[in-house]
Amino acid sequence: MLMIRRDLVDAMVAHARRDHPDEACGVLAGPAGADRPERIIEMLNSARSMTFYEFDSGDLIRLHRELESRDEEWVVFYHSHTATEAVPSRRDVDIAGYPEAHYVLISTRDPDTHELRSYRIIDGEVTEEPVEVVESYMFSHTGADDVPDAS
């Protein structure tokens, strides 16, 4: 299951809407080992495409170092599909290289309502997982620790 704060959902959707009809992509980072997204890092889609996204390789290593130095990790990789549903494509599955992360897809094909779904992608196998949107992690048991949010 992915438990996620509402403001992070709103921020991902806003990013996806802003970049529509190109695909938007980014990361939600959180404390290492906690499986709890705390902040959004919008990434540039270096492909600038309506049907493909890719993090710039330089951006990726810089983000990796930044997270390391803050004792954080990528908890979620998100991207949008702008003309199809929020389901991983065959290419999404073939390329997915982070079995430890949640893959969140956002569909912006409908201008009024979005679709947001989360998956694990491990060894080419896709498993959808429930998404629980919460106002705050403070009163939600994450199973990780009892430290409340800064907010």
Partner 1 sequence: MAVTVSVPTILRTHTGGEKSVDASGSTVAEVIEDLDTRHSGIKGRLVKDGSLHRFINVYVNDEDVRFAGGLDAAVHDGDNVTILPAVAGGCAGS
Query: Which positions touch partner 1 (CB under 8 A)?
Result: 23, 25, 43, 47, 49, 51-55, 57-58, 60-62, 64-65, 77, 79, 81-84, 88-92, 94-100
In angstroms, give the least distance from the CB of 57 to partner 1: 4
Q: Nearest distance from residue 40's CB to partner 1, in Å?
A: 15
The upper half-sphere exposure of residue 67, i.e. CA atoms within 13 Å in the direction of its Cβ, equals 22
Nearby residues of 24 by Cβ (< 8 Å), 6 or more positions away: 15, 16, 18, 42, 45, 53, 79, 80, 106
49 versus 140: smaller Cβ distance to partner 1: 49
Work out how close the CB of 113 gets to partner 1 at its nearest, in angstroms, rounded to a whole number. 18
Instruction: Give me the sign of the Cα torsion angle 33, 46, 6, 136.
Output: positive
